[in-house]
Amino acid sequence: MDPVIVKDVQEALDQFVGREVYIHLETTNGAYASHHNDQFFSAGAYIRNAKVTYERAKITGPGPFRTGLKISFGWIYAEGITHYEIDDKGRLLLAGHDFSGKLAVALQISETPFE
């Protein structure tokens, strides 16, 4: 994966506008982990192969970046994006890595279901 180049990611996001796509979105414990009173608290989210059609998309921020997909009834957001790749299947893979290099968030967009 390469560090985000906003222009390139925006162009890749725009290629899927108005098309039925499959979304993979997940956060890992690293995304929201915190310590409180010597206890470890964490949260995560995971959705795979959600079929959506988005009206517009935007990547914003100074980095790490926020990526939003506007769907008919709301938004899909991924915060903390740092890297991207367009794989050999034409899928857009976005990832956010924490300061130690661990995956904290992933947003992937594909015209075919994820395995």
**Pair 71, 55: CB distance under 8 Å:** yes
Could you state, in order of their start, the residue ranges of all structural domains in the chain? 1-52+86-114
- Percent of the chain at pLDDT > 90 equals 79
Show the CA angle centred on residue 11, arms to residues 66 and 46, nearest 5°. Answer: 40
Region of 49 please: left (phi>0), alpha (psi -120 to 50) or beta.
left
pLDDT value at 33 more than 60: no
pLDDT value at 93 more than 80: yes
> Which of the four CATH numbers 2.70.180.10, 1.10.3720.10, 3.40.50.720, 1.20.1250.20 does domain 1-52+86-114 have?
2.70.180.10
Q: Looking at residue 40, what is its pLDDT?
A: 58
Mean pLDDT, rounded, for 74-83: 96
Show the CA angle centred on residue 103, arms to residues 88 and 40, nearest 5°. Answer: 160
Q: Looking at residue 16, what is its pLDDT?
A: 98
pTM of the model: 0.88
